[in-house]
């Protein structure tokens, strides 16, 4: 599936890198997994003169990661920034949770790093038919089966920042009566 990068909502991870800490007094860096830790260490060093909390988390989005982020969100004050580094699925889940809590897009730097292996293509997919979200090792444009309603879904290149998931719609929807 060809994706028009001018109109897609898929993250442009390498071009969206901005200095999110400009004007910020405090930065929290969440890194997911060891590979992300190396990039996070570079980012932490770039925020000299700013109070930085760096929290190293497991590579996947878990309840522990959600709890850690929630504690930081509750303590956040004006001038706080959030930096997320890791594989796509946990970064998007953390970004969606932060946005739901009221953090602005301009206060978040989400950086997806190539973690390699199976986790490289794991995506959150929102089923348009039963409204569930599941993780699937599938590329954009690929097929996955919804574990809830068993629909074969095409993973569309529409990424919701609100849910942190790609849109999945029934593969043969146009062919059905």
How many C-beta atoms lie closer than 10 Å to residue 148's C-beta? 13
**pLDDT the model gives residue 63:** 95
User: For the residues 14-31, what does the mean pLDDT come to?
Assistant: 70
Share of the chain above pLDDT 90, in %: 52
Distance (Å, whole) CA 147 – CA 34: 30
**pLDDT the model gives residue 24:** 78
Domain boundaries, the chain: 26-112, 118-175
CATH 3.40.50 fits 26-112, yes or no: yes
Higher pLDDT, 120 or 76: 76
Selection from 126, 118, 70, 58 nearest residue 94 by Cα: 70
**Residue 46: pLDDT band with limits 50, 70, 90:** confident
**pLDDT the model gives residue 177:** 64
Q: Indicate whether 115 pLDDT > 70.
A: no
Selection from 116, 118, 98 nearest residue 108 by Cα: 98
**pLDDT the model gives residue 122:** 87
User: For the residues 44-55, what does the mean pLDDT come to?
Assistant: 87
């Amino acid at each position: 599936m060809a994706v028009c990068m001018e109109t897609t909502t898929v993250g442009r991870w390498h071009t969206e890198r901005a200095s999110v800490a400009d004007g910020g007094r405090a930065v929290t860096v969440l890194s997911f997994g060891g590979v992300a830790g190396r990039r996070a260490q570079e980012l932490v060093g770039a925020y000299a003169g700013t109070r930085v909390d760096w929290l190293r988390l497991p590579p996947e989005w878990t309840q522990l990661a959600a709890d850690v982020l929630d504690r930081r969100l509750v303590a956040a004050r004006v001038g706080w920034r959030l930096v997320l580094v890791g594989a796509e699925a946990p970064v998007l889940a953390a970004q969606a949770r932060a946005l739901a809590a009221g953090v602005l897009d301009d206060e978040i730097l989400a950086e997806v790093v190539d973690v390699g292996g199976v986790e490289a293509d794991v995506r959150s997919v929102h089923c348009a038919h039963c409204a569930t979200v599941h993780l699937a090792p599938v590329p954009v444009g690929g097929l996955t089966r919804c574990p809830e309603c068993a629909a074969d879904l095409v993973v569309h290149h529409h990424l919701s920042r609100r849910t942190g998931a790609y849109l999945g719609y029934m593969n043969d929807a146009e062919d059905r009566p």
